[in-house]
């Protein structure tokens, strides 16, 4: 693999993971990248490392530019192991005494990951580090998305190294936004919805702060996926919009089914939504990965969730999606629950409660159908869809 030159003396030296498909429970459809960056100045700086097993790739790429032993300083923008896993092996090569600059929380967390022998140096928010002709400035971005996260800004080149912010799980021959085009925005949104959604209010504050600083930004270099060089403001503006959490007038009907009764209900609910002019689609929780369900859920105004009753409870795939959704702290959404049952019929009520506990505004009582829905009950499902549709339009 060949390092990518980003500016004079600035290179991307990370690794492409073509084969990862499950990234801590997130489906990475095309794989991902662990980006790391090398700045060659009077001092040579490495920004972040890679997942442990890709350290060889990183060092090989660096060695095409300089002898890795000549790296003077390492910056750790984020402790998570896809960016710090390679740190011990890298330090073995470049010299264990070399300083690793990180945030206050980074120092604490790196010690929890790698107890011995690293020369960790804490940097404060706004602190600068001169590399000779150029200067790095550190911006604390606590809880975006870990307590230790920070950005590093290369002032003279106007390059923002943004850690996991603005990233996407994307692997391809392309390394820049202009090489992929519009399609990259879906990957960026999926990343935001699955990783950053709970921190939307904090991200909004950070964006305000960064915009308030009037930092000229020519390029944004995240730790995953492509680099934003054509129009960095495009992804910044997208983040501003996503942080508002103002979903479109649409509905997502998420369901699972054993004998197709809840499925028949889902289809009629969708038909009812369409009848009143609301965009809607059914999503079978066992066929669509939870991270893709979440991406669709992020955009939808109403989440309508259907589960058959199984052993007095809800179907496991829906428990999975709802547990995951709860942690993402959705805002400004309407909710409704439905499902088929045989004798006790707890599931729709449980789903209703779970959605209500996430502060979704529940616009209907749970809709239940005993065993197989007939023509009449299917009509009541369509009605249910129409009513939720009206609530979406009214909201």
Distance CA 5, CA 219 (A): 13
In the residue annotation, 48 being an active-site residue is answered as no
Q: Please, what is the minimum distance in Å from the beta carbon of residue 273 to ligand FMN?
A: 19
CB proximity list for 167: less than 8 A, separation 6 or greater: 188, 191, 222, 223, 224, 225
In the residue annotation, 191 being an active-site residue is answered as yes
Smaller CB separation from ligand FMN, 223 or 346: 346
> What are the phi and psi torsion angles at 298 (to 5°)?
-55, -40
Active-site residue, from 37, 78, 83, 364: 78
Cα-Cα-Cα-Cα dihedral sign, residues 102, 104, 110, 115: positive
Smaller CB separation from ligand FMN, 233 or 344: 344
In the residue annotation, 224 being an active-site residue is answered as yes
In the residue annotation, 83 being an active-site residue is answered as no
Output the CA angle 63-16-179, nearest 5 degrees.
105
Smaller CB separation from ligand FMN, 19 or 343: 343
Site for ligand FMN in 328-357 (CB under 6 A): 340-345
**Range in contact with ligand FMN (rule: CB under 6 A) among 56-64, 86-94, 252-260, 287-295:** 252-260
Length, in residues, of the chain:
395
In the residue annotation, 145 being an active-site residue is answered as yes
Residue 312 near ligand FMN by CB under 6 A:
yes
Among 19, 311, 375, 394, binds ligand FMN (CB under 6 A): 311
In the residue annotation, 78 being an active-site residue is answered as yes
Cβ count within 10 A of residue 375? 6
Cβ count within 10 A of residue 182? 8
Q: Please, what is the minimum distance in Å from the beta carbon of residue 253 to ligand FMN?
A: 13
Among 32, 261, 268, 291, binds ligand FMN (CB under 6 A): 261
| CB burial of residue 357 (10 Å; 0-12, 13-18, 19+) | exposed
Active-site residue, from 17, 80, 148, 364: 80
Distance CA 382, CA 338 (A): 12
Residues classed as catalytic? 24, 78, 80, 82, 145, 164, 191, 224
């Amino acid at each position: 693999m060949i390092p990518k030159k980003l500016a004079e003396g600035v290179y991307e030296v990370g690794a492409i993971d073509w084969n990862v498909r499950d990234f801590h429970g997130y489906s990475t459809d095309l794989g991902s990248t662990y980006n790391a960056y090398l700045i060659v100045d009077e001092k040579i700086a490495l920004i972040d490392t890679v997942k442990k097993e890709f350290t060889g790739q990183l060092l090989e790429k660096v060695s095409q530019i300089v002898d890795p032993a000549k790296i003077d300083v390492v910056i750790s923008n984020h402790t998570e192991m896809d960016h710090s896993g390679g740190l011990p092996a890298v330090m073995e090569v470049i010299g264990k005494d070399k300083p690793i600059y990180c945030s206050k929380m980074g120092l604490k967390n790196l010690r929890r990951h790698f107890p011995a022998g690293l020369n960790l140096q804490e940097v404060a928010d706004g602190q600068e580090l001169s590399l000779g002709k150029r200067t790095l400035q550190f911006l604390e971005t606590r809880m975006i998305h870990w307590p230790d996260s920070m950005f590093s800004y290369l002032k003279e080149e106007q390059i923002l190294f943004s850690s996991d912010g603005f990233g996407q799980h994307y692997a391809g021959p392309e390394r820049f936004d202009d090489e992929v085009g519009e399609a990259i925005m879906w990957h960026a949104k999926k990343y935001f919805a699955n990783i950053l959604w709970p921190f939307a209010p904090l991200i909004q504050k950070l964006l305000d702060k960064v915009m308030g600083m009037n930092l000229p930004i020519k390029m944004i270099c995240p730790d995953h996926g492509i680099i934003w060089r054509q129009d960095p403001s495009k992804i910044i503006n997208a983040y501003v919009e996503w942080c508002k959490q103002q979903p479109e007038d649409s509905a997502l009907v998420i369901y699972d089914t054993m004998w197709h009764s809840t499925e028949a209900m889902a289809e009629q609910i969708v038909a009812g939504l369409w009848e009143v002019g609301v965009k809607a689609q059914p999503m079978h929780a066992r066929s669509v990965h939870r991270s893709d369900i979440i991406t669709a859920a992020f955009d939808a105004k109403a989440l309508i969730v259907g589960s058959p009753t199984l052993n007095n409870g809800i179907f496991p795939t829906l428990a999975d999606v709802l547990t995951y959704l709860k942690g993402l702290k959705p805002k400004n959404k309407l909710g409704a629950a439905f499902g088929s049952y045989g004798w006790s019929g707890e599931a729709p009520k449980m789903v209703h409660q779970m959605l209500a506990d996430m502060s979704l505004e529940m616009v209907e009582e749970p809709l239940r159908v005993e065993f197989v829905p007939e023509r009449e009950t299917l009509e009541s499902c369509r009605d249910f869809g129409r009513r939720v549709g009206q609530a979406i339009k009214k909201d």
